[in-house]
Amino acid sequence: MQFEKEKSFILDCLKAFVNGTAVSQARWEELFLLSPNWDWMIRTAQAGRILPFLIHVFKKEGYLTHLSKKDQMWLHSFLMRSEWENRTKMAEFKKVKHLFEKNSISFIPLKGIALTCLVYQKTPFRYMADMDLLIKESDLGKARNLLLGDGFVLSEPKNRWQAKAMMKVIGRGNFVKANTDVDLQWCPKFFVDDEFLSWDCEGAWQRAKPFKRLGENVFMLSAVDQILYLSLQILNDIEINVVYLVQLLDLALVIQKYQVSHDILSEKIAALGPSAEKWLSAFFKMVGECFFENKPNGGLSAKSAAFFEKFFESLLTPKPGFSVKEVLQSIQSPWERFLFVVGYFVPSQNVLRRKTYSGFFGKVVCYFDHWRKQCFSFLKILLRQ
């Protein structure tokens, strides 16, 4: 495997960040002695959305000065920009929160919004592409109408007529207005081990506590539910090959903060079923080995080392048709199933708007280009079956 020393050092920095410790001086000396590929480390950390936290560790331990003046200036600038972007997302969140509050809709912020308040208070650099909000299923129609009435539009995938069917299956949907992207969730499902797993939303709501720091209508998941949600999201994203190192950092920080007992966690995992229990039990052992056992990364088991390699190898583009068969089996209406299949070969309005083609012939070219790509993807799906 390439860039082993760089990967090992990135994990060392994340471990130090999680545990509030310092990377040993011997590790710093070893790193600089081995002349690491700094460009690769920076690009990888940026792609994995953990670069601000690496910069923070370098700055805290006084090692930024070992880099060139140009690199130091760029990294300082990147850190400031990351904090500004985080603040901007929090400001966007407050607007949506006020919209829901005025209309008596309670919700639970997830991932970036929640973790900025829970584990990143002193280092508010956490990147957020969208804001994930969990609502009660009984509030779905009201929340959707509020967002649409406020100028949001339902975000479509690249294929026509598939958004609504997908929303019913996976229990979530994206609503977009300008730079604000709301990932609205009411009964989220996760694709793990070639099947959709349901998450105990009803129980999560019962265990959630008010979080008035963000608003009267805002609740926060219990520690166990927070850990399970983040873990299922990671396993889902590994399955579709779009996973980020920051997700690993998120989970480790929550585990460190709440120190949930293994017995309680095991009980909740078992309730999810045999498949989820197998994956999650192994996953938690590997996370514990990496972050909370006093061993060098070179001492990780072969299984753990191979698992963490996925976070460095992720293509950050979903596998084509990763769950087409499972989605089709989950769609109840024959008409919606027919539209879903036909829509696979028809570009969505979003795709048509993004293309630079103009006029009738431009649209024809766009359709043919879409058909070509989709037929090729469909052939690959059939070959995998």
Residues 341-360: pLDDT tens digits?
A: 777 777 766 666 665 556 66
Q: So what's the pLDDT on residue 202? A: 92
Count of Cβ atoms closer than 10 Å to residue 23 Cβ:
19
Q: Rounded distance, CA 97 to CA 104, Å?
A: 10
Q: Is residue 290 domain-shared with residue 357, that is, in the same domain?
A: no
**Of 283, 313, 343, which residue is a domain's last?**
313
Q: So what's the pLDDT on residue 323? A: 59
Q: Rounded distance, CA 321 to CA 311, Å?
A: 21
**Of 279, 313, 347, which residue is a domain's last?**
313
Q: Is residue 329 domain-shared with residue 309, that is, in the same domain?
A: no
Q: Is residue 65 domain-shared with residue 36, that is, in the same domain?
A: yes
- Spatial neighbors of 336 by CB under 8 A, at least 6 apart, are 164, 165, 168
Choice between 140 and 265, residue whose per-residue pLDDT is larger: 140
**Of 313, 340, 360, which residue is a domain's last?**
313
- Report the number of distinct structural domains present in the chain: 2
Q: Rounded distance, CA 98 to CA 158, Å?
A: 31
Model confidence at 381: pLDDT above 80: no
pTM: 0.87
Q: Residue 116 is encoded by which pair of tokens?
A: 């900025």
Q: Is residue 299 domain-shared with residue 358, that is, in the same domain?
A: no
Q: Is residue 97 domain-shared with residue 10, that is, in the same domain?
A: yes
Per-residue burial over 348-385, b if 16 or more Cβ lie within 10 Å, else e, is bebbbeeeeeeeeeeeeebeeebeeebeeeeeeeeeee
Q: So what's the pLDDT on residue 128? A: 95
Write the DSSP string, 136-198: -GGGHHHHHHHHHHTT-EEPP-SBTT-HHHHHHHHTEEEEEETTEEEEEESS-EEEETTEEEE
- Kind plus residue range of the DSSP H or E element containing 18: helix 4-19
Residues 131-151: pLDDT tens digits?
A: 999 999 999 999 999 999 999
Q: So what's the pLDDT on residue 314? A: 67
Residues 6-19: pLDDT tens digits?
A: 888 899 999 999 99
12-16, 208-212, 345-349, 380-384: which has the minimum mean pLDDT?
A: 380-384
Q: Is residue 191 domain-shared with residue 238, that is, in the same domain?
A: yes
Q: Is 85 within the bounds of a domain?
A: yes
Q: Is 107 within the bounds of a domain?
A: yes
Q: Is 258 within the bounds of a domain?
A: yes
Q: Is 174 within the bounds of a domain?
A: no
Beta bridge partners of 209: 220
Q: So what's the pLDDT on residue 320? A: 55
User: What is the three-class DSSP state of 132?
Assistant: strand
Residues 220-254: pLDDT tens digits?
A: 999 999 999 999 999 989 888 889 999 999 999 99
Q: So what's the pLDDT on residue 1? A: 57
Q: Is residue 236 domain-shared with residue 337, that is, in the same domain?
A: no
Q: So what's the pLDDT on residue 164? A: 79
Q: Is 36 within the bounds of a domain?
A: yes
Q: Is residue 206 domain-shared with residue 90, that is, in the same domain?
A: yes
| pLDDT band, very low/low/confident/very high, at 272 (cuts 50, 70, 90) | confident
Q: Is 354 within the bounds of a domain?
A: yes
Q: Is 160 within the bounds of a domain?
A: no
192 touches 350 (CB < 8 A): no
Mean pLDDT of 9-34: 87
Which of 252, 307, 229, 243 lies closest to 48, judged by CA? 243
| pLDDT band, very low/low/confident/very high, at 266 (cuts 50, 70, 90) | confident
Residues 290-329: pLDDT tens digits?
A: 898 876 655 678 888 888 888 888 666 666 555 566 676 6
Q: So what's the pLDDT on residue 318? A: 61
Q: Residue 351 is encoded by which pair of tokens?
A: 């795709």
Phi, psi of 220 (to 5 degrees): -130, 140
Q: So what's the pLDDT on residue 213? A: 93
Q: Is residue 219 domain-shared with residue 364, that is, in the same domain?
A: no
Phi, psi of 291 (to 5 degrees): -105, -25
- Spatial neighbors of 265 by CB under 8 A, at least 6 apart, are 224, 227, 284
Q: Is residue 216 domain-shared with residue 337, that is, in the same domain?
A: no
Choice between 380 and 248, residue whose per-residue pLDDT is larger: 248
Q: What is the mean pLDDT of the chain?
A: 85
Q: Is 334 within the bounds of a domain?
A: yes
Choice between 319 and 191, residue whose per-residue pLDDT is larger: 191
Q: Is residue 380 domain-shared with residue 262, that is, in the same domain?
A: no
Q: Is residue 90 domain-shared with residue 193, that is, in the same domain?
A: yes
Q: Residue 342 is encoded by which pair of tokens?
A: 């036909």
Domain holding 334, by residue range, is 324-384
Phi, psi of 295 (to 5 degrees): -140, 145
CA separation (Å) from 49 to 45, 54, 65, 129, 213?
6, 10, 23, 11, 26
Mean pLDDT of 375-382: 62
Mean pLDDT of 84-102: 96
